[in-house]
Amino acid sequence: MTASTGAAIDGVTVTRDGGPPAEDFEAFYRANVDRIYRALAVTLRRDDLAGEAVAEAMARAYTRWPTVGALENPAGWVFRVGLNWATSWWRKVRRERPPSERPEPAQGGVAENAVLAREALDRLPRPQRAVVTCRILLDLSTAETAEALRLTEGTVKSRLSRALADLRRDLTEEA
């Protein structure tokens, strides 16, 4: 029988059973939480929702650390879990709130070029945004992106190609 350990992640206490030491997860968390948060914020277009999604995904990773920690790309797993959680959250919101009560995307105070790039990314369909986020912001390979998003490598390549062409066109027109 393994001992159960617990920790507070973003104010939520979670427990896990056995497996690799908690220090391994803590190092993973410190090294990846900001990067995954930024990737989810770009993909979801909501900074507040991205924060909740990464907290939920990291808590789930902690409780399953013996399995997740052994994966080739645990950060990709966390990104996918966060994206799935946020998608479920959006579905619930759409069912419960009329369109006039839905929250507006949060705006940040960043440099003009970053704002233009973010706006261009926001105009992409979510599936293309997710591929761009994984390939460029998370620096995942085509195979890792395909695995994280549960797509074929060909689909990842075609979505990335279309997305980059759209981004080039949008950013050229805005300049």
| Enclosing domain of residue 62 | 20-106
143 assigned to some structural domain: yes
One domain, residues 146 and 87:
no
Confidence tier at 153 by pLDDT (50, 70, 90): very high
Q: Residue 133's domain is classified under what CATH number?
A: 1.10.10.10
Mean pLDDT, rounded, for 10-30: 66
CB 47 within 8 A of CB 41: yes
What CA–CA distance (Å, rounded) separates 71 from 22?
A: 16
Number of domains, the chain:
2
Q: Is the full-model pTM beyond 0.75?
A: no
pLDDT digits (tens, 9 = 90+) for 73-111: 999 999 999 989 988 887 776 665 554 444 444 444 334
Contacts of 152 (CB under 8 A, 6+ apart): 146
62 assigned to some structural domain: yes
Residue 138 has a pLDDT of 81
12 assigned to some structural domain: no
Mean pLDDT, rounded, for 143-156: 90
Where is the domain boundary, 106, 129, 161?
A: 106
